[in-house]
Amino acid sequence: MRYVIDALIVISIFFAFAGVVGMLRMPDTFCRMQSATNISTCGILGVIIGGILYSAIYLGNAEMAIKLAVMGVFYIITNPIAGHILAKGAYKHGVRPENKMVVDRLEEDFEQ
Amino acid sequence: MSELLFFGICFLALALMLCFRIFIGPTVADRANAADCVDALTDMALILFALYTGRGIFLDIALVAAVLGFVGTTIIGRYLEGKL
Amino acid sequence: MKKATFPAVISTAIVCYLFWLCITGQLAMLFEGEAAWQVLVAGALVSLGVGLFAGKYFIHERSFYLWHPARLFTGLLYCIIIFPWELLKANWDVAKRALSPKLPINPGIVKVPVDLQSEYGQSALANSITLTPGTITMEVTEETTDEGEQDYFYIHWIDVATAEEKEAGDAIKGTMEKWLRRIWK
């Protein structure tokens, strides 16, 4: 069981590393937001599930396990709202990528 | 037992790498987004530290940090949109 | 803004009370039979007040709609098995793109029609799309044509395979919408 928990946390570290590298390498703002979603979904859920197993089995502390589950649900609910509002706000503020996007229906439909 | 501390240090190193994006980010949205992710990564380090020491009080701090990160990011987004 | 109805207040208060029980640690003590009654009563009062003030923002129609065995089971199946599998696939895809040396990205904003009518169904679908790495919902609009009303999402997609509306919709939200249609019509 110990190795399962370690494997979950290592998977989570791998996805967080991929997200950080993506945020440093991607060329424009919206692609960086896609990589940020990578950090805050799989980079977090591995640690939270591993923490629930660890605190329920090795620490014997049900209160900590319940708090960790509440944190996981909270992250899953609030993260898309923050991402959506930030992307929409950046677009309305006038942020455009340097390289041209393949297709931009939002500009075609709203900027007549 | 002690590998939890090692994983926590890994998360903190990733957060430190991401601070580079906060310094060089060309737009405000980049900086806000990177700050949100730094918040999430330090939260994970805090959770691992709470598991290492076995004290539940650190989880409350992690939850409060998560709530504050969400509220800050949302308010910056609304302000950029021009509806605040 | 409509006025708060009684079922909206009650269902908001139940969710708040559950959150209170989890966060104060009383839920674990309730099973061991040593919960403090002062904390329980204070939580009930506070969550009733929160429901009274905030109920009209959360619930607009059919408060206990999800509280039906078939819909509850489908929702749990979606949340536990279907959606995490999609999440893992998309995560692996974006991680592979970020780590590969040539950086194969092809970004663009596509327009996608949505078949769900209900308010909750649309918000669940939009949140699912934003939560998968590689796609972000940026705008929700409603257009009136001669056949009726049709809702559209504008989605930023990191790898635009096709700009045609139907095919892009199938590629982005095919599985998720099929499962969500069983809960909300």
pLDDT single digits (tens) C94-138: 888 888 888 888 888 888 888 888 888 888 889 999 988 888 888
**Interatomic CA distance for residues B19 and C39, integer angstroms:** 42
Shortest distance between the Cα of B15 and any Cα of chain A, in A, equals 8
Helix residue ranges per DSSP H, chain A: 2-25, 29-57, 62-93, 105-110
State the residue for tokens 């949205």.
B29
**Interatomic CA distance for residues C157 and C111, integer angstroms:** 10
| C156:A26 CB<8 A | no
Domain count, chain A: 1
pLDDT digits 0-9 by tens, C25-66: 887 777 777 778 888 899 999 999 998 888 888 877 776 777
pLDDT band (50, 70, 90) for residue C2: low
User: Which has more pLDDT, A25 or A98?
Assistant: A25
| Structural contact between residues A21 and C98, judged by C-beta atoms closer than 8 angstroms | yes
pLDDT digits 0-9 by tens, A57-66: 888 888 889 9
Is residue A106 a part of any domain in this protein?
no
Coil vs helix vs strand at B60: helix
User: Which has more pLDDT, C75 or C146?
Assistant: C75
**Interatomic CA distance for residues C67 and C74, integer angstroms:** 11
| C105:A91 CB<8 A | no
Determine the residue of chain B that is closest to A79 in CA distance: B70
**Interatomic CA distance for residues C135 and C146, integer angstroms:** 30
The complex's ipTM works out to 0.88
**Interatomic CA distance for residues C75 and C71, integer angstroms:** 6
Is residue A10 a part of any domain in this protein?
yes
- Of A109, B25, A70, A90, residue with least CA distance to C110: A109
User: Residue C71 above 90 pLDDT?
Assistant: no
Q: What percent of chain A has pLDDT over 70?
A: 96
Is residue A110 a part of any domain in this protein?
no
State which residues form the domain around A22: 2-99
**Interatomic CA distance for residues C83 and C55, integer angstroms:** 28
Q: So what CATH class is C69-180?
A: alpha beta
User: Which has more pLDDT, B65 or A107?
Assistant: B65
